[in-house]
Amino acid sequence: MSPAIRSFGIIGLGKMGADLALNAIGKGFAVVGLDLHAVPDELTRAGLKSAADVAGLAALLPQPRLIFLYVPAGPPVDALLAQLATALSPGDIIADGGNSYWGDSIRRHARTKQHGIHFIDAGTSGGPSGARDGACFMVGGDAEPVAMIEPILRKLAVEGGYVNAGPAGAGHFVKLVHNGIEFGMLQAIGEGMDLLVHYRDTLPIADVLQCWEHGSVIRSWLIELMEKLYRQQGRLDSVPDYVEDTGEVNWLVDDALHMEVPIPVITQSVIQLVASREGRREASRAVAMMRHGFGGHPYGANAGVARERHTGRVGGFIPAGPVGAAP
C-alpha cells in the first residue's frame, strides 16, 4: 500500500496555483512552490517553501513525489514535462490542473509513462476563490495514482466537488465540456441583461437579479456574481464590451464536429464571444463582468490571453482507440 502523501509541489503560483497552495497549507499539507516570478510574500509567510528550479523542487519533496501544474496550456506544459522527466523518479506523479486540451493530456500520459512517471489530468473549476476555499476537481488517469491523490483533492475540494472521470484525458474532457456549458450560461444571462437594460421603462436591475437568486429556476452563482458586479459598477457600459478568452471552447466546438454531436448553443456562445471584439453590445459587457467576477479574467483585450488562445492546444482530436506514446 502506497504511503499517504502529505507534501507536494505546485509549479505556477498565479491566481489558481497560489490560492490552492494557501488552501493546502491551511489543511496541514507541506507545499513547495515554483514560479517564473518571485513567490508572493503571502505564500512565504503562510509556510510555502520556494524552489529556484525544477530540480530544486524535486529535491525538497519525499518520494513518491506529487507535483501539480497550474501553468498556461500548450507549450509551457510540454516544456515542464521535459524538465520533470529528468528530475523525477519512477512512481512520481504529475497532475496538470490547468485547462489543457484532453487530447494533449492523453499524449502526455503516454509520454511520461515511458519514464515510469504517472500523469494525471486534473481539471479544476471554481476560480481563485474556489482554489482558496474549496475547488471542484475532475480527474482522469490510471487507477493507482488517481487513488493516491484522491484524498488530497477531496480535502482541497468543496464538499462533493470531486469526480474520478475515468482514464487519461477524461478529466480534461469533462472540464472542457464544463467550460462549454459555462459559455452557454454566460451568454444567456448576458442576453437577458441586454433585454433588461433596453426595456421601455427603467428597471431596478440589481434588485431583479437579487430576486432571481432566491427560489427562481435560474438561481446560480453566475446570477449572484452578476448582481454583485452590477451593483459595484452601476451600469453595464462602465466596462469594455470586448470579451477575451483563452480559446478552450473553440476546441470543444471542433471536437463536437468530429464526434458528430450538435452543440448549437455552445457554438453560438463562442461566435458571440468573438463578435464582442467587433461591436458594442451590452450582453458582452455582462459576460465580461461575470468572467471577471469568477475567474479574475481581464477586462478588454489582453495580449497574453490572446496568445494562449492560439497556442494552448498542441495536438488535434484523437479518435477512439489506443494511443501510442508521442514522439
Give me the catalytic one of 175, 244, 248, 282.
175
Name the grid cell of 278: 467587433
CA distance 181 to 16: 21
Report the DSSP pairing between strands 135-140 and 118-125: antiparallel
CA separation, residue 221 to residues 127, 137, 209 (Å)? 12, 17, 11
Active site includes 175? yes
Give me the catalytic one of 15, 27, 150, 182.
182
Active site includes 155? no
Whether 161 contacts 122, CB under 8 Å: no
* 3-class SS letters over the chain: CCCCCCEEEEECCCHHHHHHHHHHHHCCCEEEEECCCCCCHHHHHHCCEECCCHHHHHHCCCCCCEEEECCCCCHHHHHHHHHHHHHCCCCCEEEECCCCCHHHHHHHHHHHHCCCCEEEEEEEECHHHHHHHCEEEEEECCHHHHHHHHHHHHHHEEEEEEEEEECCCHHHHHHHHHHHHHHHHHHHHHHHHHHHHCCCCCCCHHHHHHHHCCCCCCCCHHHHHHHHHHHHHCCCCCCCCCCCCCCHHHHHHHHHHHHCCCCHHHHHHHHHHHHCCCCCCHHHHHHHHHHHHHHCCCCCCCHHHHHHHHHCCCCCCCCCCCCCCCC
Q: Which residues are catalytic?
A: 175, 182
